[in-house]
Structure 1
């Protein structure tokens, strides 16, 4: 399967999956409003689910209009890692959960809302370069990408940590560690294809940290503004 055909097939699959997830999220929002008297901290729950719906809707929209890839990673490992890293957190719903106190649940809810809001900010800047697989579309270095090279993963880590704290158990903690290991591998795979595609990426990577932000955003020279691919 050539890269163009693979991209079209992947786009169709992503749109189908995330559109379904968005519909399910909308249904859960309706249920949250209808059952608000029975849900603890329902305002936090509603805010988290509304933010999640906006994020999923953005993913569907940006996938529809995304740029064709200029280069893609070869081999099966980057593809399996991307799929596993994207969907392994679904196992959170079947893992044993604990009963954290009200303070921890409020903290977890705040993390989930903040992390999802940050994710929305990241995908807005990522725009038509968004994808699941490691692919070079355009090199985005504005907004959150001027602060860290992989802000979307960092934002998702905040959301995921909130979900883990909300249903705390050793199993959910172990799943979080596995998830982050997969995300780190995705970053490595993406950077490999970026370096192979964009000559200016090396200078960008020297000045911008991977996930821990610095106080000084990256400011490229006045030469042609490059464009970071998808998370």
Structure 2
């Protein structure tokens, strides 16, 4: 794939994420749920970091990798704000912990952030000392928090599907990053992908 084709794919990904996020923001604006803004806050950083990231020539050209990345990014945007009774204290604890963790990880990743599998530089500091995918760990905690705050069968289905895809996406990223000897060395030092001692 040529440099111009990769640049075009990069811009297309940015445009799609922006449109999805604007649609999501509109749905949140229309909601009467007091917790609806939490959904918006948890997803806004994805749009921001995708727009300011640095370009790369080492991005996956596999259609399946792009499909996983798009699905894992889009599925959480299908969550619906509810006015039902949730577990407010536990939900807020999971939500805030996840939000702070993933924002902290994004701060260390900075302009290396992306949606599709790519190598924009290997980061090993901050939360990356404990797990190789701390942003995803933050998303997991945030999504659990939202489920506790706004429980519904729909949201459980959305997040369940999102996480099935997210794990496959994570493994696709590891396959691409594993081509870099620096990343293989990092894998030896930090064995946890997402949850230390579990996965």
Unmatched 5+ stretches in structure 1: 33-38, 215-231
Indicate if the aligned counterparts of 2:117 and 2:172 stay in contact, CA closer than 8 A: yes
Within 2, Cα distance between the matches of 1:167 and 1:93?
A: 8
1:183 corresponds to which of 162, 166, 170 = 166
Counterpart check, 1:5 vs 2:31: no
Indicate if the aligned counterparts of 2:24 and 2:77 stay in contact, CA closer than 8 A: no
Any residues of structure 2 matched to 1:1-231 within 5 Å, and which? 2-18=5-21, 20=22, 24=26, 45=35, 48=38, 52=41, 56=44, 58-93=45-80, 99-100=84-85, 104-196=87-179, 198-208=180-190, 209-213=192-196
- Structure 1 residues 27-77: Cα deviation after superposition (integer angstroms, max 9, x where no partner): 58xx99xxxxxx7xx6xx499468x17x62x44443333211131112211
Q: TM-score, normalised by structure 1?
A: 0.70
**How has the CA–CA distance of structure 1 residues 203 and 91 changed in structure 2, closer, same or farther, with 3 Å as cutoff?**
same
Unmatched 5+ stretches in structure 2: none
Q: TM-score, normalised by structure 2?
A: 0.80
Moved more, 167-176 or 132-141: 167-176
Indicate if the aligned counterparts of 2:80 and 2:154 stay in contact, CA closer than 8 A: no
Indicate if the aligned counterparts of 2:75 and 2:159 stay in contact, CA closer than 8 A: no
Indicate if the aligned counterparts of 1:85 and 1:183 stay in contact, CA closer than 8 A: yes
Instruction: Supply the RMSD in Å over aligned alpha carbons.
Output: 3.1
Within 1, Cα distance between the matches of 2:96 and 2:24?
A: 16
Within 1, Cα distance between the matches of 2:110 and 2:117?
A: 15
Equivalent pairs, count: 193
Indicate if the aligned counterparts of 2:68 and 2:165 stay in contact, CA closer than 8 A: yes
